[in-house]
Amino acid sequence: MDIEDIVKLILKGKKLVFLTGAGVSTASGIPDYRSINGVYQGKKSPEYLLSKTALNKEPDKFYDFVKHLYHPEAKPNIIHKTIAKLQNNKNVAVITQNIDELHNKAKTKQIVHFHGSLYEVYCQKCFKSASAKEYLNDMHHVQCGGILRPKIVLYEEGIDNEALNQSVYYMQKADTVVIVGTSFKVYPFAGLIYEANSKANLLAINQISLNNPYILSEYIGDAVDVFKKLAKQIQE
């Protein structure tokens, strides 16, 4: 499918859900996880470093790894901005795997942070909130000395029930679901496709094919190109 066709299908939708992954934020200078330039490259057992076990048993190693996931200087790119613009005349929701809050910065109103956010930080001892700036300065809470952590879903942890329920709700109400910038292999995120309205159009925009039988329309290529075209169509 070419860009013009995928753009037409997106514009045809009235109740849109975007399922977004790390590929959406790479154009903002945030590396993905598993590509040749991803944050996992060159790391021994990166899944362990991002696990509940590492946080509990080796918090220093966990902290050294996680703080490199932060990119507070990053700004929304054309993908984030165009999704937000669609809100002007469509019902738009975003369910994102990303923990960078760039959809928030783009002012998207309905967002589910499926895997949490790096910018929600709390102390595991007193459970009080702290800022990301405080966390990046020191993993210890200045008030009680407890170890801080971002509210992200680690390996060995489950998805927040509220996030899961809200995601299912959006999927069931959507007439168009657009999967963008994700390999769509991580569950339960990938399992959301089974919750989609049976009459919804299921689209994918990704660098490689997702090879998913539920997805009938797919654009293989750079999502930035698609959303540049989409942004022009919205302005016209």
- Chain centroid to Cα 137, Å, comes to 25
What phi and psi values does residue 33 have, to the nearest 5 degrees?
A: -100, -50
pLDDT of residue 110 exceeding 90, the answer is yes
Q: Give the model confidence (pLDDT) of 27-74 as tens digits.
A: 999 987 665 455 665 567 888 999 999 999 999 999 999 999 999 999
pLDDT band at 118 (very low <50, low <70, confident <90, very high): very high
Residue % of the chain over a pLDDT of 90: 91
Residue 115 falls in the annotated catalytic set: yes
pLDDT for residue 31 = 87
Determine how β-strand 148-152 pairs with β-strand 116-123.
antiparallel
pLDDT for residue 169 = 98
CB 17 within 8 A of CB 170: yes
The kind and range of the H/E element at 20 are strand 15-20
pLDDT for residue 207 = 93
The average confidence (pLDDT) of the chain is 94
Full DSSP string of the chain = --HHHHHHHHHH-SEEEEEE-GGGTGGGT---SSSTTSTTTT-SSHHHHTBHHHHHH-HHHHHHHHGGG--TT----HHHHHHHHGGGTSEEEEEE---S-HHHHTT-SSEEETTEEEEEEEETTT--EE-HHHHHH-SB-TTT-PBEEEEE--BT-PPPHHHHHHHHHHHHH-SEEEEES----STTTGGGGGGS-TT-EEEEEESS----TT--EEEES-HHHHHHHHHHHHH-
pLDDT for residue 36 = 45
Q: Give the model confidence (pLDDT) of 146-187 as tens digits.
A: 999 999 999 999 999 999 999 999 999 999 999 999 999 999
Lowest mean pLDDT among 11-20, 44-53, 196-205: 44-53
Within 10 angstroms of residue 127's Cβ, the number of other Cβ atoms is 10
CB 96 within 8 A of CB 111: yes
Tokens of 223: 């999502």
* Sheet containing 129-130: order of strands: 129-130, 116-123, 148-152
Q: Which domains does the chain have, with CATH numbers?
A: 1-29+76-115+158-236 (3.40.50.1220)
The amino acid sitting at 150 is P
Count of helices and strands (H, E) across the chain: 9, 9
The active-site residue out of 80, 103, 113, 115 is: 115
